[in-house]
């Protein structure tokens, strides 16, 4: 099964008749992560036929309404569906504050544990989520409100040894452990055991990066280097670069520039200004810089 990104909302601040505000679901190695949660996210989740109940974690980039107004409905619907599994929300501290007040006023009691983990502004990426097979790093973007990007990565697994090789080469337990962790081992007699020869090499580990609202920020490309799929906002076409600067958003070619500098395999652009019903201009401008660009349309998905 490939990893899959499903777009639930691709508009910027104002929803349009064709586009909901920001939200997407990343399916990675059987896990389901909700990333940003604009108004109407649960409607789009229903339409997408994604397994609603399997979402284990939510990542919210920043405290602008078009990125989190939907979370209250999602939390309440999980309760109505009798959810028992814990839900963890990674978000700026203010979201917990708002939710706590909201739950108090509504006397909302949940049948499942809900936990908030606060994001922080950090120039260096930091590990915010980890399980057996996936890790997520958070990093600072450049926006009017503190905004966080997320890098999702498959974790390296222990490599299986080639069949019978441990007997043939009389490998010790220590040598086996080192080889399986990807190391070459120098033996007492000076000979070298090459990991690449003695183990079954894994397929390339997949990664996805989400760069929500941000002004052009070339440092991002170092953090998301060699990512398989990059989502980067492109709120405005190039002609509106001044407006993009003023509102701390990116243009189509700036998003493409980040993908190019990062050596990404593919780029998805979204968060289009609501004044553009036809977004082909964004695609044209981005493709001129980075040909492997695709448009985020609501309910469109991308395998990687």
Q: Residue 289 CB, nearest distance to Zn ion (Å)?
A: 23
Note the residue count of the chain. 304
Question: 275: buried, middle or exposed (CB in 10 Å: 19+, 13-18, 0-12)?
Answer: exposed
Does the protein bind Zn ion through residue 249 (CB under 5 A)? no
**H or E stretch including 52?**
none
**H or E stretch including 25?**
strand 23-28
- Joined tokens for residue 257: 């520039």
Q: Residue 198 CB, nearest distance to Zn ion (Å)?
A: 50
> How big is the chain by its Cα radius of gyration, in Å?
22
The residue (of 64 and 83) whose beta carbon lies closer to Zn ion is 64
Q: What share of the chain is helix, strand, coil (3-state, %, to 5)?
A: 30, 30, 40
Place of tokens 């899959």: 4
| Gap between the Cα atoms of 100 and 94, Å rounded | 10
Based on the residue annotation, tell me whether 298 is a catalytic residue of this protein.
no
Does the protein bind Zn ion through residue 64 (CB under 5 A)? yes
3-state secondary structure of 244: helix
212 to 241: interface string for Zn ion, x by CB under 5 A? -x----------------------------
| Listed ranges 19-27, 30-38, 44-52, 56-64: which one lies at the site for Zn ion (CB under 5 A) | 56-64
The residue (of 3 and 273) whose beta carbon lies closer to Zn ion is 273
| Listed ranges 58-66, 133-141, 185-193, 230-238: which one lies at the site for Zn ion (CB under 5 A) | 58-66
The residue (of 83 and 271) whose beta carbon lies closer to Zn ion is 271
List beta partners, residue 200: none
Number of residues interacting with Zn ion: please give it, by CB under 5 A.
2
| Listed ranges 33-41, 70-78, 104-112, 206-214: which one lies at the site for Zn ion (CB under 5 A) | 206-214
The residue (of 64 and 153) whose beta carbon lies closer to Zn ion is 64
| Gap between the Cα atoms of 89 and 129, Å rounded | 11
**Site residues (vs Zn ion, CB under 5 A):** 64, 213
Q: Tell me which residues are annotated as active site.
A: 66
């Amino acid at each position: 099964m490939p990893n899959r990104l499903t777009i639930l909302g691709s508009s910027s601040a104002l929803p349009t008749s064709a586009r909901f505000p920001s939200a997407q679901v990343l399916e990675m190695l059987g896990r389901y992560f909700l990333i940003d949660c604009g108004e109407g996210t649960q409607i789009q989740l229903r339409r997408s036929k994604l397994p609603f109940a399997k979402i284990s974690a939510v990542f919210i980039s920043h405290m602008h309404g078009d990125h989190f107004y939907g979370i209250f409905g999602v939390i309440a619907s999980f309760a109505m569906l009798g959810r028992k599994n814990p839900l963890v929300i990674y978000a700026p501290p203010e979201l917990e504050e708002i939710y706590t007040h909201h739950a108090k006023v509504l006397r909302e009691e949940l049948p499942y544990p809900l936990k908030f983990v606060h994001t922080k502004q950090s120039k260096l990426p930091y590990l915010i989520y980890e399980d057996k097979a996936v890790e997520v790093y958070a990093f600072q973007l450049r926006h009017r409100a503190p905004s966080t990007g997320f890098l999702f990565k498959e974790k390296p697994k222990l490599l299986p040894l080639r069949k019978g090789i441990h007997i043939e080469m009389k490998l010790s337990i220590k040598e086996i452990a080192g080889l399986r962790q990807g190391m070459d081992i120098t033996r007492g007699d000076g000979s070298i055991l090459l990991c690449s020869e003695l183990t079954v090499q894994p397929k390339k580990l997949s990664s996805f990066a989400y760069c929500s609202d941000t002004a052009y920020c070339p440092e991002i490309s170092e953090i998301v280097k060699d990512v398989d799929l990059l989502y980067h906002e492109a709120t405005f076409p190039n002609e509106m670069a001044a407006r993009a600067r003023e509102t701390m958003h990116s243009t189509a070619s700036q998003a493409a520039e980040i993908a190019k500098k990062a050596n990404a395999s593919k780029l998805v652009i979204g968060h289009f200004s609501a004044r553009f019903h036809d977004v082909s201009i964004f695609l044209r401008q981005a493709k001129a810089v980075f040909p492997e660009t695709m448009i985020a349309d609501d309910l469109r998905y991308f395998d990687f």
